[in-house]
Amino acid sequence: MIWILLVLLTVIGAAAAVGIAANERRKQIGGGGSPKALPAGRGDNLLERTVRDLRVDDVLTMDGKDFLCEGLIAYDEDGHRWSAARVVDGSDVKWLLVGIERAGGGAMRLLVQDDTQSIAGYPPEALVIGEVRYVLDKRGAATCQLHGDVGALGDLKKNRPSGHVERCRWWLYGAPGEDTLMVEQWGADYRVLRGKKIGEGTMELIPGS
């Protein structure tokens, strides 16, 4: 009789142990315990910016050279937004145009201001500069915010509050290969930006402090 009781007690104890273990397992799966912390730095990586999110004081590394983002123009055309960053390495000044295409990510454009080209009226359907013929691809008008040092366009910021907006008309031209050209009208003044389409992998972003 005693050995029967011992067997029953053993069975009951084993069943209880299994039930406790199963309950603990359900808590772990259901998140009943304390949430696990992310490994060091993992949360920051989720928010890591790319060159498409360039900001004033960021550094952009290209071809072994470090360019400081001194200024930024933020364009908004009926909800479609893109940017042009003025990046500088000494006397080397470039503009990185990002996101002007409405469909998909689109190519980025690395441009320099071409002061040899004078446009006094409405830009033509085609422009020939040297041996390259640029054909008008698209045009529009945008509301713009100017941040930081935007070079000659800085005159538009004089005696204006921070974050004020300006209107800009633009014409985007294409050519065979990677050649590209942008004409902008600010007030009565035009400027020509000329350069190449580039891939994001050719640059590295070092966020500013």
Residue 39: pLDDT above 80? no
Q: How sure is the predictor about 105, in pLDDT bands with cuts at 50, 70 and 90?
A: low
Highest mean pLDDT among 13-17, 36-40, 119-123: 119-123
How far apart, in whole angstroms, are the C-alpha atoms of residue 87 and residue 33? 49
Residue 172's contacts (CB-CB under 8 Å, 6 or more residues apart) are 100, 136, 137, 138, 139, 180, 181, 182
Q: Report the pLDDT value the prediction gives residue 5, as an integer from 0 to 100.
A: 43
For the chain, what are the domain ranges?
1-36, 51-206
The H or E element spanning position 73 is: strand 65-77
Residue 23: pLDDT above 50? no
Percentages of the chain per state (helix, strand, coil), in multiples of 5:
20, 45, 35
Residue 176: pLDDT above 50? yes
How far apart, in whole angstroms, are the C-alpha atoms of residue 29 and residue 27? 6
Q: Cβ distance 195 to 180 under 8 Å?
A: yes
Residue 1: pLDDT above 80? no
Q: Tell me the average pLDDT of the chain.
A: 81
Q: Is 119 exposed, middle or buried (0-12, 13-18, 19+ CB in 10 A)?
A: middle
With b for 16 or more beta-carbon neighbours within 10 A and e for fewer, the 135-163 pattern comes to ebeeeeebebebbbbbeebeebbeeeeee
How far is Cα of residue 104 from the mean position of the Cα atoms in its chain? 13
Q: Report the pLDDT value the prediction gives residue 10, as an integer from 0 to 100.
A: 52
Closest CA to 181 of 120, 142, 129: 129
Percent of the chain with pLDDT over 90: 60
Q: How sure is the predictor about 174, in pLDDT bands with cuts at 50, 70 and 90?
A: very high
pLDDT in tens, 159-169: 777 667 899 99
Let me know how many helices (H) and strands (E) the chain has, helices first: 2, 11
Tell me the whole-structure pTM to 2 decimals. 0.75
Residue 131: pLDDT above 60? yes
Q: Cβ distance 166 to 146 under 8 Å?
A: yes
Q: Cβ distance 119 to 134 under 8 Å?
A: no
Mean pLDDT of 121-125: 94
Residue 88: pLDDT above 80? yes
- CA distances in angstroms from 25 to 30, 37, 152, 165, listed in the order given: 9, 19, 66, 58
